[in-house]
Amino acid sequence: MSRTSISTLGEFGLIRHLTQDIKPCQSSTLYGVGDDAAVLNFAGKSRDATLVTTDLLLEGIHFNLEYVPLRHLGYKAVAVNVSDICAMNGTPTQITVGLGVSSRFAVEDIEEFYLGVRTACEHYKVDLVGGDTCASMNGLTIAITCLGVANEQDIVYRNGAKVGDLICVSGNLGSAYLGLQLLERELHVFRATHHDNLAKADEHSDAIHEKFEGREYLLQRQLRPEARVDIVQALRKAGIKPTAMMDISDGLSSELFHICSQSKVGCDIYEDKLPIDYQAAAMAEEMNLNIVTCVLNGGEDYELLFTCDIHDYEKLVPLDDVYIIGHITEPEYSSDHPERPSNLRLIPRNGNPMPLTAQGWTAF
């Protein structure tokens, strides 16, 4: 009997394959698999809904403890889950933390991780209400579930983008990826330099600090990203409800594919409108990387990608750290993939459209 490699489906293809026939049997389940969070309503007639999301972080896949401090990791683990609640236009309220811990970790290590968790909880006003801890044969495994609340009519899904909508992002893109490239480069040099020579290791430690000087923002974006609760609050204050929204975890191009596929639309985004930080641009040039490629495919920015009705343009323009990068177009379909729109395009500075390809993070 032939067996199918998971990589042929990918993460989201696997999820669709496993869940496409699942039909909720509980009236409290308003929306199940397929978005940044599930939507539940236990109160019946009340319009207040509960949002639920879970993320799994595995050592060696999602983080490398050779350069990721445990305190930063604890903070980031909370922030990436809070970001999913933000992507639904909700307010985060509680988390649970599950840990698989190998014998190489001491109590002090887990205390350091939890210090980061508690700092993030205090920052986002989220309560730590439970979880589980068990032994692991393979390093550190983190599973966090985040709960949130939202009025049903305020919830924003991925499938609501309409032709003519503006495409917006918060913050800047590509910085987290370039922070990762910087860390990986210095780790590679460190390994090649010191081996078992402690004297050389000490010498290189000073050199690493020099390499990191002036790049602190890139390191922060990778090691301790922030969920954009402030952007959700700013949109509410401005009276703007996005038509579709996601957080940017796998890369801008991948998230655009999700929104366009689920909304059955195309899109045009403009290279000269992409928000890029100076440190990211300088780092890309130093590493001989194309900064636009980093922006489109880097991932882990945890900024918000959202679409808005064009009539909200005057409300959007004054908002700090919000950038209009393109617009939603009529869908076109190819014979190769008739199930999803094929006209997702990047408009370069020379004006000649290029097809967008989802080359961001893939789990398998």
**Structural domains of the chain in order of their starting residue, each with its CATH number:** 6-19+28-154 (3.30.1330.10), 166-180+223-355 (3.90.650.10)
Decide if 307 contacts 244 (C-beta within 8 A).
yes
Which residues make Cβ contacts (< 8 Å) with residue 42, sequence separation at least 6?
28, 50
pLDDT in tens, 85-105: 999 999 999 999 999 999 999
Instruction: Give the C-alpha separation, 286 to 85, whole Å.
Output: 36
What's the confidence (pLDDT) of residue 219? 97
Decide if 11 contacts 25 (C-beta within 8 A).
no
Instruction: Give the C-alpha separation, 52 to 155, whole Å.
Output: 13
CB atoms within 10 A of CB 133: 11
What's the confidence (pLDDT) of residue 107? 96
What's the confidence (pLDDT) of residue 205? 47
What's the confidence (pLDDT) of residue 123? 98
Amino acid identity at 248: I
What's the confidence (pLDDT) of residue 194? 67
For the chain, residues with pLDDT lower than 70 are 6-22, 25, 44-46, 194-210, 358-364
Decide if 294 contacts 222 (C-beta within 8 A).
no
Amino acid identity at 312: D
Instruction: Give the C-alpha separation, 359 to 345, whole Å.
Output: 14
What's the confidence (pLDDT) of residue 138? 84
The DSSP element (H or E) to which 316 belongs, if any, is helix 313-316
What's the confidence (pLDDT) of residue 364? 41
What's the confidence (pLDDT) of residue 209? 54
Which residues make Cβ contacts (< 8 Å) with residue 238, sequence separation at least 6?
315, 316, 318, 319
What's the confidence (pLDDT) of residue 17? 66
The DSSP element (H or E) to which 198 belongs, if any, is helix 198-212
pLDDT in tens, 226-255: 999 999 999 999 999 999 999 999 999 999
What's the confidence (pLDDT) of residue 28? 77
